[in-house]
Amino acid sequence: KSGFVAIIGRPNVGKSTLLNRIIGEKLSIISNKPQTTRNNIKAIYNGDNCQIVFLDTPGIHKPKHKLGEQMVNSAHSVLSEVDIVLFITTPQEDIHPSDRHIIEKLRNAKVPVFLIINKVDSVKKEEIAKTIECYMKEFNFREVIPISALKGNNMNTMLEVLKSNL
């Protein structure tokens, strides 16, 4: 099995930590090539009979200037080129305003979108449940996977879920 997975999330939710964690398991970084979509390739996971290419989506945030607008277009093309979208957030009382903006963009996605709740090591179970409740109300995520990229919790579960959806 093989496929492309987009990683989307506002700054500081732990995207880089997550990619590094997967690299720690079995992965190689690809150097950036400007002017191509490959620009977005962050990492390739090679498992047993399975290859997953992870891409980031630098421009999914609100554009602040012209260059920003260009990046938003590139984010849209990533959304149409991948097999799965991972939307990363952290435990929240209510939808984070920046997340709301990204979720609006995700409504155009024609592929499964998974909700990854990172940093679950830092909160109580009830706070995770609350996060799932308010985010699922906002968007019909295919599945929810709570993880700790920092501690490595639930990494295998996440990879297995990805594999079974490719």
List contacts with ligand GDP (CB under 6 A): 9, 11-17, 118-119, 121-122, 148-150
Q: Are the C-beta atoms of 30 and 41 separated by less than 8 Å? A: yes
What are the DSSP calls for 16-42, one per residue?
A: HHHHHHHHHHHEE-----TTSGGGGEE
- Flag whether 8 is marked binding: no
3-state secondary structure of 12: coil
Choose the stretch contacting Mg ion; rule: CB under 5 A; options: 13-21, 30-38, 42-50, 112-120: 13-21
Q: To the nearest whole angstrom, how small is the minimum distance from the Cβ of residue 48 to Mg ion?
A: 28
Asked if 32 is part of the footprint of Mg ion (rule: CB under 5 A), the reply reads: no
Q: To the nearest whole angstrom, how small is the minimum distance from the Cβ of residue 147 to Mg ion?
A: 16
Asked if 12 is part of the footprint of Mg ion (rule: CB under 5 A), the reply reads: no
**Among ligand GDP, Mg ion, none, what binds residue 121 when CB lies within 5 to 8 Å by partner kind?**
ligand GDP
**Among ligand GDP, Mg ion, none, what binds residue 13 when CB lies within 5 to 8 Å by partner kind?**
ligand GDP
- Flag whether 16 is marked binding: yes
- Flag whether 59 is marked binding: yes
What are the DSSP calls for 69-135, one per residue?
A: HHHHHHHHHHHHH-SEEEEEE---SS--HHHHHHHHHHTT--S-EEEEE--GGGS-HHHHHHHHHHH
Please report, in range form, the residues annotated as the binding site.
9-16, 56-60, 118-121
List of residues contacting Mg ion (CB under 5 A): 15-16
